[in-house]
């Protein structure tokens, strides 16, 4: 530790940075895979326009929906997870109890069942409640598919994210809080300025993996009337009776998205490792 | 060297009255009473598990005590409300340095000044640089903690605590985690502080430091103060058998 002087360290850092930024950097088997999958889709599209070309055209708008649902849920999940993670670590027994209950209940129920609950059961509960209190907006409540899908995914993934945050925060040594507290910082200030900035680096890689899982699990929202990639695939198959072609195209499209996401996650990981130096 | 230390007047800044502390069914402190005067340097020695670190940590309430009373600079430590008020007056230096690894040395010293003392960036930066000058490593201002040696890190930790203008400094085995060749540079900074008249409570087994800077040495064992006196009294003519036994092992 003592042997490394500062300027050297900086030079190393610059070296790694240029390596990352230079064009063609990291053109490895990951990119080959992406290119391979894209080329496969293109070949199928142009050489066999029916049904492959038609399938691509048909499901195309579903990609936007899948990405939209995934990204919106993920953004909210990042905050829900932070609240849940802090709640799990709270010294207040009530807050801790609520957060723990949330995490345990949600993790114990399959995502598809949760989505069914929010889409079918939840509006029915609101309606009968509305009838009892004679509040008309409630009696006429129906679940909006997109809102329900994003809410369902967020609630489910928020629970997993809570555990990631909790582990990240716990990985920062107790001495850090003590140092911050001994300087007169409040619990909140210590969390805000000392613990979270360090925890975020620990949390980022598993968070990226959650994003990829969320992208894949977003296919489940097709059961609650959201026209995502999977649902568009089902519709196309129903119209054309071409299961092999349909699901080959849908699978390849998910694959492009997940591999690209994994790539971005890996890149983020390296960036934060650099900052850590 | 001891004569260079300023004389201390009867002017209590820390008053500890019969505090006890239990961890489960282990009694870490069993009725400890101690008064430290303004400008006094008190060294606490004793075998591991004797409660010396616990006592130190009770003074700024990093550890809650089970019963008894501590008054720091006129503020009684009992309710939760005035803990931060006390902590801003009491600086603490840890065995493991506990610098913030994600911040540069300078930012480490600036952070609490801005957040707690609400100083401007320019002012905290000025204070940080003055203190780095004082502990002898201004050239490391923009380095990250892991790029420093242990001795340098501990000196930054001292500067970070001093930046809050504390009236009292607590040191919890500040040199125990250091390689032997780095101990002196940290002790030099501490002796300097002592000579400036800082009130210090130090848990340490550095006898050379005790002789150079301490007004009083306290020997603790099994959660109690067994003996206290000037460094000369305690090191050369200990009255208790347990003190003699302990000193024969560490000296």
Stated length of chain B: 251
All residues at 6 or more sequence positions from A165 whose CB lies less than 8 Å from its CB, including other chains = A81, A82, A84, A85, A86, A199, A203
Chain A interface disruption, residue of B54, B83, B84, most A CBs within 10 A: B84
Strands of the sheet with B26-37, listed across from one edge: B26-37, B12-23, B67-72, B75-76
In three-state secondary structure terms, A181 is helix
Residues pairing with B217 in the sheet: B43, B229
Mean pLDDT, residues A249-253: 93
Query: Which helix H or strand E contains B172, and what residues bound it?
Result: strand B168-172
Contact A1 B146 (CB under 8 A): yes
Dig out the tokens for B71 from the structure.
Answer: 């008054």
> Is the minimum CB–CB distance between A136 and chain B shorter than 8 Å?
no
User: From the CB of residue B44, how many other CB atoms can be counted at a distance below 10 Å?
Assistant: 28
Q: Mind listing the pLDDT tens digit for each residue in B66-120? A: 888 899 988 887 655 667 778 888 999 999 999 999 999 999 999 999 999 999 9
Q: Is the pLDDT of residue A10 over 60?
A: no
Which chain A residues have a beta carbon less than 8 Å from that of B99? 179
> Is the minimum CB–CB distance between A276 and chain B shorter than 8 Å?
yes
Query: In Å, how far is A277's CA from the nearest CA of chain B?
Result: 8
User: From the CB of residue A275, how many other CB atoms can be counted at a distance below 10 Å?
Assistant: 9
Alpha-carbon distance of A132 to A125, in angstroms, equals 11
Chain A interface disruption, residue of B100, B150, B155, most A CBs within 10 A: B100
> Is the minimum CB–CB distance between A7 and chain B shorter than 8 Å?
no
Q: Where are the beta strands (DSSP E) in chain A?
A: none
**Under 8 Å between Cβ of B4 and B196:** no
Q: Which of B123, B151, B134 minimizes the C-alpha distance to B198?
A: B134
**A positions 183-212 inside 8 Å of B (CB):** 183-186, 189, 193-194, 197-198, 201
CB-closest option in B94, B100, B147 to A9: B147
Mean pLDDT, residues A116-145: 88
Contact B164 A184 (CB under 8 A): yes
Which chain B residues have a beta carbon less than 8 Å from that of A6? 140, 142-143, 147
Could you tell me which chain A residue has the CA closest to the CA of B83?
Answer: A184
**What is the model's pTM?**
0.82
Mean pLDDT, residues A145-158: 95
Q: Is the pLDDT of residue A105 over 50?
A: yes
Measured between alpha carbons, how far is residue B230 from residues A5, A237, B227 in Å? 43, 92, 10
The single residue listed with the structure tokens 């150079």 is B212
**pLDDT attached to residue A23:** 40
**pLDDT attached to residue B61:** 86
DSSP label at A24? T
Alpha-carbon distance of A48 to A41, in angstroms, equals 10
Measured between alpha carbons, how far is residue B111 from residues A179, B99, B127 in Å? 12, 11, 12
Alpha-carbon distance of B6 to B200, in angstroms, equals 13
Contact A276 B102 (CB under 8 A): yes
Q: Is the pLDDT of residue B121 over 60?
A: yes
The single residue listed with the structure tokens 């998910």 is A254
Contact B87 A183 (CB under 8 A): yes
Measured between alpha carbons, how far is residue B49 from residues A68, A77, A173, A198, B25 in Å? 58, 45, 22, 32, 14
Contact A2 B149 (CB under 8 A): yes
Widest distance between CA atoms in chain B: 55
**Under 8 Å between Cβ of B213 and B230:** no
Global ipTM: 0.90
Task: Identify the residue with better confidence: B109 or A12.
Answer: B109
Q: Mind listing the pLDDT tens digit for each residue in B146-193? A: 999 999 999 999 999 999 999 999 999 999 999 988 999 999 999 999
Could you tell me which chain B residue has the CA closest to the CA of A8?
Answer: B147
Q: Mind listing the pLDDT tens digit for each residue in A202-229? A: 898 899 999 999 999 999 999 988 999 9
Could you tell me which chain B residue has the CA closest to the CA of A273?
Answer: B102
Q: Is the pLDDT of residue B249 over 60?
A: yes
Average per-residue pLDDT in chain B?
A: 90
Measured between alpha carbons, how far is residue A264 from residues A65, A204, A217, A269, B4 in Å? 20, 12, 19, 9, 63
**pLDDT attached to residue B126:** 95
Q: Mind listing the pLDDT tens digit for each residue in A265-276? A: 888 878 777 655
All residues at 6 or more sequence positions from B79 whose CB lies less than 8 Å from its CB, including other chains = none
**pLDDT attached to residue B117:** 92
Q: Mind listing the pLDDT tens digit for each residue in A51-95? A: 888 888 888 999 999 999 999 999 999 999 999 999 999 989 999
């Amino acid at each position: 530790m003592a042997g490394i002087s500062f300027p050297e360290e900086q030079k190393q850092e610059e070296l790694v940075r240029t390596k990352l930024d230079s064009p063609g950097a990291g053109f490895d088997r990951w990119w080959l895979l992406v290119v391979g999958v894209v080329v496969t889709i293109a070949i199928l599209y142009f050489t066999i326009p029916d049904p492959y070309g038609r399938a691509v055209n048909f499901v195309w708008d579903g990609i936007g929906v899948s990405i939209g649902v995934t990204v919106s849920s993920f953004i909210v999940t990042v905050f829900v997870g932070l609240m849940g993670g802090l709640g799990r670590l709270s010294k207040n027994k009530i807050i801790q109890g609520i957060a723990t209950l949330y995490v345990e209940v949600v993790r114990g129920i399959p995502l598809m069942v949760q989505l069914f609950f929010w889409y079918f059961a939840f509006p029915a509960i609101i309606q009968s409640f509305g009838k009892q209190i004679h509040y008309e907006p409630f009696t006429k409540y129906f679940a909006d598919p997109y809102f329900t899908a994003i809410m369902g995914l967020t609630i489910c993934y928020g629970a997993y994210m809570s555990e990631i945050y909790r582990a990240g925060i716990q990985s920062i040594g107790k001495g850090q809080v003590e140092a911050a507290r001994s300087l007169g910082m409040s619990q909140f200030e210590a969390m805000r300025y000392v613990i979270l900035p360090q925890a975020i680096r620990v949390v980022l890689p598993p968070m990226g993996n959650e994003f990829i899982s969320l992208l894949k699990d977003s296919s489940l929202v097709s059961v609650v009337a959201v026209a995502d990639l999977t649902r568009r695939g089902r519709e196309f198959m129903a119209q054309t009776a071409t299961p092999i072609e349909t699901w080959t195209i849908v699978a390849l499209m998910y694959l492009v998205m997940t591999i690209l996401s994994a790539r971005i996650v890996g890149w983020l990981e390296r960036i934060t490792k650099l900052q850590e130096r | 060297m001891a004569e260079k230390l300023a004389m201390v007047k009867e002017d209590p800044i820390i008053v500890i009255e019969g505090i006890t502390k239990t961890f489960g069914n282990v009694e870490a402190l069993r009725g400890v009473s101690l008064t430290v005067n303004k400008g006094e340097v008190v060294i606490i020695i004793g075998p591991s598990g004797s409660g010396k670190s616990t006592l130190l940590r009770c003074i700024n309430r990093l550890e809650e005590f089970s019963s008894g009373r501590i008054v720091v600079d006129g503020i009684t430590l009992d309710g939760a409300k005035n803990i931060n008020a006390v902590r801003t007056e009491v600086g603490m230096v840890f065995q493991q340095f506990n610098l913030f690894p994600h911040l540069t040395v300078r930012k480490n010293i600036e952070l609490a000044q801005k957040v707690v003392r609400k100083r401007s960036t320019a002012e905290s930066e000025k204070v940080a640089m003055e203190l780095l000058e004082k502990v002898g490593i201004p050239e490391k201002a923009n380095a990250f903690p892991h790029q420093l040696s242990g001795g340098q890190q501990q000196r930054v930790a001292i500067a970070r605590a001093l930046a809050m203008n504390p009236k009292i400094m607590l040191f919890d085995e500040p040199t125990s985690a250091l390689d032997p060749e780095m101990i002196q540079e940290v002790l030099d900074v501490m002796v300097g502080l002592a000579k400036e008249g800082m009130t210090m409570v130090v848990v340490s087994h550095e006898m050379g430091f005790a002789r150079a800077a301490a007004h009083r040495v306290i020997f603790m064992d099994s959660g109690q103060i067994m003996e206290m006196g000037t460094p000369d009294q305690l090191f050369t003519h200990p009255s208790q058998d347990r003190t003699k036994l302990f000193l024969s092992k560490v000296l």
